[in-house]
């Protein structure tokens, strides 16, 4: 159920609707549009007595939503864009500057992590991403260094000022990962893990939400709603490729979702061409394509010696390749009215 309020409504009018919903045991999401405020009721709306709201002068329209179907957030007014701040150093995703997040798929040891961190910072990255807890398909593969990796990431932040992004795999890891990281990554396999989404929604660090590899646009948007409904509005979408019949790539990078997300949500979206293709040679061309179609940033796997990487070696570029790519992105970004 969505309540569209009259143009001239006051803050007190909005609060009146919110309080009546609370009285019915419902929560709310308030959407501030360019000229209208909308309040979406969150919870089981089947038995709402509409007369309690129809009598309010500030309510112009009540839009019912189909039972069992979560209300999709109303499309933001054109130009309503949200910036997400990555951490204390002030790096932002969703502003004019393209935010590049880079680093190894997994944190392997101190030397490689610090070398990579310094190099990607020099080349213009705003955040370091490294996996501490790895979601591996094969239970016998390297699973990540766990808390030791988080300590190394925190050391790399101290040394470089880069914000730290790392994956959290379960609700019981949220407190630990949140203690070290600036941004919590929810991976593709967990986009439908609603308990995890709610758990990262109950803490205040931004969330990098990867698209499930078979998730539709609506499922992706609704996954973000699980986080936002718990109070954390700092969500960054990440397109990382979906599973298709294509066998020349690991995943099919579905870039059309970038402009589509921008029509449906004010939140920023970045693109991960590393998981999105699985092929190191495709990282540069697909990074450029992502920026050209409006992505707010990139997530790129970089390692001093990709061939030696313990995870995702085939899709990881080396430091020299990353430097060249960052240079190319600078001219491309200015051609599409952005900065890199
Ligand atoms: C990763 O970023 O290394 C990763 C495992 O990502 P995804 O969840 O997109 O597969
Ligand atoms: Mn990876």
Measured from the Cβ of residue 143, the count of other Cβ atoms closer than 10 Å reads 16
Residue with the smallest CA separation from ligand 1 atom 2 is 105
185-213 pLDDT, tens digit each: 999 999 999 999 999 999 999 999 999 99
pLDDT of residue 67 exceeding 70: no
Strand partners, 167: 185
Q: What is the mean pLDDT of the chain?
A: 94
87-128 pLDDT, tens digit each: 878 899 999 999 999 999 999 999 999 999 999 999 999 999
Cβ burial, residue 189 (10 Å; 0-12/13-18/19+): middle
pLDDT at 73: 64
Distance CA 102, CA 165 (A): 9
Average the pLDDT over 13-37 and give the result: 88
The DSSP letter of residue 74 is P
Residue with the smallest CA separation from ligand 1 atom 9 is 188
Q: Which atom of ligand 1 is nearest the CA belonging to 134?
A: 5
Residue with the smallest CA separation from ligand 1 atom 3 is 105
pLDDT of residue 66 exceeding 60: no
- CA torsion sign for 320, 324, 325, 330 is positive
Average the pLDDT over 156-175 and give the result: 98
Ligand number nearest to the C-alpha of 208: 1
pLDDT at 158: 97
């Amino acid at each position: 159920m969505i309540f569209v309020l009259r143009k001239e409504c006051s803050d007190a009018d909005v609060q009146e609707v919110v309080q009546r919903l609370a009285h019915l045991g419902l929560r709310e999401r308030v959407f501030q549009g360019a000229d209208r405020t909308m309040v979406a009721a969150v919870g089981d709306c089947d038995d709402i007595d509409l007369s309690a709201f129809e009598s309010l002068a500030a309510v112009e329209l009540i839009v019912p939503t189909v039972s069992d179907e979560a209300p999709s957030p109303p499309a933001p007014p054109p130009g309503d864009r949200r910036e997400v701040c990555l951490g204390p150093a002030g790096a932002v995703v969703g502003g004019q500057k393209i935010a590049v997040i880079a680093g190894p798929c997994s944190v392997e040891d101190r030397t490689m992590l610090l070398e990579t961190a310094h190099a990607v910072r020099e080349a213009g990255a705003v955040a370091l991403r490294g996996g501490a807890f790895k979601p591996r398909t094969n239970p016998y593969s390297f699973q990540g260094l766990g808390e030791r990796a988080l300590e190394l990431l925190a050391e790399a932040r101290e040394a470089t000022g880069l914000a730290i992004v790392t994956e959290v795999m379960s609700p019981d890891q949220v407190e630990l990962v949140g203690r070290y990281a600036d941004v919590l990554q929810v991976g593709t396999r967990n986009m439908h893990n609603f308990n995890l989404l709610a758990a990262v929604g109950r803490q205040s660090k931004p969330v990098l939400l990867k698209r499930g590899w078979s998730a539709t646009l609506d499922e992706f948007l609704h996954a973000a709603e699980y986080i936002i409904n718990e109070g954390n509005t700092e969500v960054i979408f990440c397109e990382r490729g979906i599973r298709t019949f294509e066998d020349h790539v690991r995943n099919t990078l579905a870039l059309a979702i970038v402009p589509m997300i921008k029509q449906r949500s004010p939140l920023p979206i970045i693109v991960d061409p590393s998981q999105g293709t699985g092929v190191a040679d495709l990282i540069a061309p697909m990074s450029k394509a992502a920026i050209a179609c409006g992505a707010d940033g990139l997530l790129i796997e970089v390692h001093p010696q990709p061939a030696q990487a313990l995870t995702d070696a085939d899709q990881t570029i080396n430091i020299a390749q990353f430097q060249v790519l960052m240079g190319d992105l600078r001219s491309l970004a200015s051609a599409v009215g952005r900065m890199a």
